[in-house]
C-alpha cells in the first residue's frame, strides 16, 4: 500500500550509441528510431502522470510486429534493458539508459461479431474498441476510463464496470502475440506456450512485448447506471447502507462508493463544484437494470442523480475520469470486509469531520464472477477479497505533496486490520521487490519466476513491477 508519486530521476547515466548501428536499425523497420535531441524524443517518453521522467538511450516507435522483433534483437545485441509504453497511464520504473518501446503507432482493431471476439494491437486504447464492438451490441471488459491502453490494463488483471458479471479483463484473453526477450514472435494461448499464457494474464509486462491481444466480447448493448451524489454529512450512513446492500447484490450490477472533495474549479459542474460529497456509481445490465439499481438511489438525500439507461459506448459517463495528464499521489488496498468497524475506521481519517487532502477515496465492489471464476490465472487475490480501495490526491506543491503522503499513511493504517497483504497489480504503486511480491499470491510468485527464467532469463523487461527470474 505504498503511495504512487510522480518521479524525478537522475538522467546522468544515460548512454550513447554508435549511430551506424542506429541507422541499420532504422533501415530494418517501418517505424521510427529516436535518440536524445531528436524531434519528438521527449514527447515519446512522457507519461500520463505529469512529472514522471524517463531518460532512455533510444526510443523506438514500431508500426508492426516485425518492427518489434528487430527492436528487441537490437536490444539484445547492445545489452539494453527494455520498457514498453502504451497509453502511459500505469505506474512504472524510470527507464534510464535503456530502450523504450512506444507502441502508440500500433493501432489495429478487428471485431468478429460472430465469434464475439476482438483483436487489438499494442498501442490501442479502449475507446475505439468499445465503439467498434458496440456496433454489434457487444461490450468489452474495459475499466473506468476508455482512455487507458487495452494491453497494459488487461495484463495487470483489469477490473471494470462488468467485473461482477463477466470477471476481470485478463479472464477474457484468448491469445496473445508476443515478442520474447530472444526476439522471437510467438502466439500464446492455452494450447501453445500454456504456462506463459497463464503468466501473462495478471503478470503484467514482465515476459515479453505483447504486440496484439485477442479477447472475448460480451452481449451488453446497454446498461442502466451512472452516478449519484449525496452530501458528505450523510457519508457514514450511506456507507453502512451500501455495505449491507452489497451482501446480497446480484452479479448483474457492479458498483463503487466514493468520497469526493471537489475543488472550486470551472471544469467541475454545478452543483458539485467546491463540494464534499459521497457518491455511488454503478452499472446494471439486463432488462431489470433499473430495478436492480433502485436501492442505490434511496441511500440518502441526492444532490445529483445521473442514473439512466445508456448505450454501452457511453460507459465513460459512469466514472467521468480525467483524460488530460495530471500529477498525483495515491494509495490502494484490497479489503476483506466493509464492516461497520472498517467504515468507522475510514470515517475517522477521511469522513465528514476531517480535512483530508484526498480528492477521491473509492471502494469498488469486485466480488461476483471476478472472484468465483474457476480460471487459472496469475491475477492476485481473485478468490479472496471483495473490495478494492483506491485513494488519490493531486499535489499543488511540496507542502501539499507532504500532506498527501501523510494522508496515505493515515488511511493505510486505518484500513490495515481489514486489508489483505496483497494488492491488485493495476493499482500497485510500490515497485520494490516487496511490492512485486505483494501483487501476487504467494503460491503464484515462484511459478511466475520460473516462467520468467524461461522467457526472459536476463530480465531484459525489468522497468516495471518486476518479477526476477528464478535462479
Is 384's pLDDT higher than 80? no
Residue 11 lies in a domain: no
Helix (H, G, I), strand (E, B) or coil at 216: strand
Q: What tens digit of pLDDT does each residue of 14-51 get?
A: 456 778 999 999 999 999 999 999 999 999 999 988 87
Q: What tens digit of pLDDT does each residue of 421-464 get?
A: 888 888 888 889 999 999 998 889 999 999 999 999 999 999 99
Residue 465 lies in a domain: no
Q: What tens digit of pLDDT does each residue of 263-309 get?
A: 998 889 899 999 999 999 999 999 999 999 999 999 999 999 999 99
Q: What tens digit of pLDDT does each residue of 164-217 get?
A: 999 999 999 999 999 999 999 999 999 999 999 999 999 999 999 999 999 999
Average pLDDT over residues 246-256: 97
The domain boundary, picked from 203, 219, 235, lies at: 219
Strands 117-121, 185-188: pairing kind: unpaired
Is 8's pLDDT higher than 70? no
The domain boundary, picked from 102, 122, 145, lies at: 102
Q: For residue 87, give the CATH number of its domain.
A: 3.30.43.10
> Which DSSP symbol is given to 336?
S
Clarify whether residues 251 and 313 are in a common domain. yes
Q: For residue 423, give the CATH number of its domain.
A: 3.40.462.20
Q: What is the pLDDT of residue 184?
A: 98
Q: For residue 116, give the CATH number of its domain.
A: 3.30.465.10
Clarify whether residues 244 and 337 are in a common domain. yes
Number of domains in the chain: 3
CB 266 within 8 A of CB 284: no
Pairwise CA distance, residues 130 & 149, whole Å: 12
Clarify whether residues 187 and 245 are in a common domain. no
Which domain does 71 fall in, by range?
19-102
Helix (H, G, I), strand (E, B) or coil at 315: coil
In our burial notation (b when 16+ CB lie closer than 10 A, e otherwise), range 231-268 reads bbbbbbebbbbbbebbeebebbbbbbbbbbbbeeeeee
Amino acid at each position: 500500500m505504498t503511495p504512487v508519486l510522480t518521479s524525478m530521476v537522475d538522467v546522468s547515466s544515460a548512454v550513447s550509441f554508435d549511430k551506424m548501428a542506429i541507422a541499420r536499425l532504422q533501415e530494418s523497420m517501418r517505424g521510427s528510431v529516436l535518440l536524445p535531441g531528436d524531434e519528438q524524443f521527449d514527447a515519446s517518453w512522457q507519461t500520463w502522470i505529469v512529472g514522471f521522467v524517463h531518460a532512455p538511450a533510444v526510443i523506438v516507435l514500431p508500426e508492426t510486429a516485425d518492427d518489434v522483433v528487430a527492436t528487441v534483437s537490437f536490444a539484445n545485441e547492445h545489452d539494453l534493458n527494455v520498457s514498453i509504453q502504451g497509453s502511459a497511464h500505469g505506474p512504472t520504473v524510470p527507464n534510464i539508459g535503456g530502450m523504450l518501446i512506444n507502441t502508440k503507432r500500433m493501432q489495429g482493431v478487428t471485431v468478429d461479431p460472430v465469434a464475439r471476439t476482438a483483436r487489438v494491437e499494442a498501442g490501442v486504447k479502449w475507446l475505439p474498441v468499445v465503439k467498434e464492438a458496440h456496433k454489434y451490441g457487444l461490450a468489452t471488459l474495459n475499466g473506468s476510463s476508455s482512455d487507458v491502453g487495452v494491453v497494459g490494463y488487461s495484463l495487470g488483471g483489469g477490473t471494470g464496470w462488468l467485473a461482477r458479471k463477466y470477471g476481470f479483463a485478463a479472464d477474457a484473453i484468448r491469445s496473445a502475440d508476443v515478442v520474447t526477450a530472444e526476439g522471437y514472435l510467438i502466439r500464446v494461448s492455452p494450447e501453445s506456450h500454456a504456462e506463459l499464457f497463464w503468466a501473462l494474464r495478471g503478470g503484467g509486462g514482465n515476459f515479453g512485448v505483447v504486440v496484439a491481444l485477442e479477447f472475448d466480447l460480451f452481449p451488453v448493448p446497454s446498461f442502466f447506471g451512472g452516478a449519484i451524489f449525496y452530501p458528505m454529512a450523510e457519508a457514514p450512513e450511506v456507507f453502512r447502507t451500501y455495505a449491507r446492500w452489497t451482501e446480497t447484490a446480484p452479479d448483474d450490477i457492479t458498483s463503487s462508493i466514493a468520497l469526493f472533495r471537489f475543488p472550486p474549479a470551472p471544469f467541475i459542474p454545478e452543483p458539485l463544484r467546491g463540494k464534499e460529497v459521497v457518491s455511488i456509481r454503478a452499472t446494471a445490465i439486463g432488462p431489470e437494470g433499473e430495478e436492480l439499481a433502485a436501492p442505490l438511489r434511496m441511500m440518502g438525500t441526492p444532490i445529483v442523480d445521473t442514473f439512466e439507461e445508456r448505450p454501452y459506448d457511453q460507459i465513460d459517463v459512469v466514472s467521468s475520469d480525467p483524460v488530460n495528464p495530471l500529477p498525483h499521489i495515491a494509495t490502494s488496498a484490497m479489503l476483506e470486509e466493509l464492516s461497520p468497524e472498517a467504515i468507522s475506521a475510514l470515517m475517522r481519517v477521511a469522513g465528514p469531520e476531517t480535512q483530508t487532502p484526498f480528492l477521491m477515496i473509492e471502494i469498488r465492489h469486485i466480488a461476483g464472477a471476478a472472484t468465483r471464476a474457476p480460471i487459472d490465472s496469475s491475477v492476485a487475490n481473485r478468490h479472496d477479497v471483495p473490495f478494492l480501495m483506491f485513494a488519490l490526491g493531486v499535489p499543488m506543491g511540496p507542502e501539499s505533496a507532504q500532506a498527501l503522503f501523510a494522508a496515505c499513511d493515515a488511511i493505510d493504517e486505518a484500513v490495515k486490520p481489514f486489508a489483505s497483504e496483497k494488492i491488485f497489480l493495476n493499482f500497485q504503486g510500490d515497485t520494490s521487490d516487496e511490492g512485486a511480491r505483494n501483487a501476487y499470491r504467494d503460491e503464484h510468485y515462484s511459478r511466475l519466476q520460473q516462467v520468467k527464467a524461461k522467457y526472459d532469463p536476463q530480465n531484459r523487461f525489468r522497468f516495471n513491477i518486476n518479477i526476477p527470474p528464478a535462479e
